Structure 1
Amino acid sequence: MAKKNTVSLEGAVMTENGLSYKGVIMEPVVEKCEGCDRMVDFEGQNFCPTYAQPARKWAGGVCNFATHVRAEMDKGGKVKINPLKASKRAARGR
């Protein structure tokens, strides 16, 4: 059975700049984060305790902390592999 960690934002304070937690200003989650197990509700808004700026995490593609998405498949149906790793595997004969 998988162990589920429950994260609380105990000690967090809502300010005019956003949620202040352990000296970091946290922004609310974005629409792409909906369904992630890491989201924590605080005063009616959802926040990600793992990353303070969720919108920036999604800017380059898929958030690597997201629990609700899988690795992307390319058009051929194969999982995308880092080209550097692929060349090293080919050199070893794998």
Structure 2
Amino acid sequence: MSKKKAKITALEGAEMTSEGLSYKGVILQPIVEKCEGCERAVPFEDQKYCPSYAQPESKWKHGVCNFATHVRASVDKEGKVKVNPLKASKRAARGR
């Protein structure tokens, strides 16, 4: 039998507290504007929450959220992949 990914359609058992939405012992913060359009965002009462990451705002601080389903990774301007300099020097020493 093949396993299918279970998509969370509702935050069952979630409770609104003074800190935020409590779900499975974790306090969830509402999604930020950059998360709009993501398939993971789940509505609860009048706001949307991300069950994959509790603090969506901090996930976007250093670039694109790796959980985002609506954003694709971009290639740098030259079209080259960034290589670790340590690995590159070891390859050069071996003659590759």
What range is the shorter-chain TM-score in?
A: 0.7 to 0.9
TM-score after normalising by structure 1: 0.79
Instruction: Identify the residue that residue 37 of structure 2 maps to in structure 1.
Output: 35
Mapped partners of 1:66, 1:79: distance in 2: 23
Q: CA deviation at 1:6?
A: 2.1
Residues paired across the two proteins, number: 88
User: Contact 1:41 / 1:47 at 8 angstroms: preserved in 2?
Assistant: yes
Instruction: Identify the residue that residue 5 of structure 1 maps to in structure 2.
Output: 6
Structure 1: unaligned runs, 5 residues or longer: none
Q: CA deviation at 1:73?
A: 2.2
Larger Rg: 2
Instruction: Identify the residue that residue 84 of structure 1 maps to in structure 2.
Output: 84
Q: Provide the alpha-carbon RMSD of the alignment.
A: 2.3
Counterpart among 65, 70, 91 of residue 68 in structure 1: 70
Runs of 4+ in structure 1 deviating by more than 4 angstroms, as ranges, are: none
